[in-house]
Amino acid sequence: MKRLREAMQLPKGALKGLDDTLTAGPATFDGSTYIALRIRRGENNEFASYQLRRWSGKTWERVAKFPVPIHALAEHAGKLYGAAAVTRSRE
């Protein structure tokens, strides 16, 4: 995590405690750094939401919420893309 933080030019502590919740990132887009997280909720952490967050300089601000995890972030052709693994059941 230290090398990742240094490569993205984030301050010490910016990624601290995110080892278990980070699903993708960090990625740089339009001068900002983004990450994707899993936020656990519920008594036994059985409910999760997935969020895209942007570094504000002091904290990670929520940009968007998703029903599925984002496994990769990338910038291409002036846009930020997130890749999610979604499976469909055959019925």
Tens-place pLDDT, residues 52-66: 999 998 899 999 998
Query: Which one-letter DSSP state was computed for residue 57?
Result: S
Q: What is the pLDDT of residue 63?
A: 93
pLDDT at site 21: 87
3-state secondary structure (DSSP) of residue 76: strand
pTM (two decimals):
0.78
Q: Residues 35, 50: contact at Cβ < 8 Å?
A: no
pLDDT at 19: 82
Q: What is the pLDDT of residue 9?
A: 85
pLDDT in tens, 66-86: 888 888 888 888 888 888 866
Residue 74 near residue 81 (C-beta atoms within 8 A): yes
- pLDDT of 34 higher than 70: yes
20 CB neighbour count, 10 Å cutoff: 8
Nearest 5°: the CA angle 34, 73, 22 is: 65
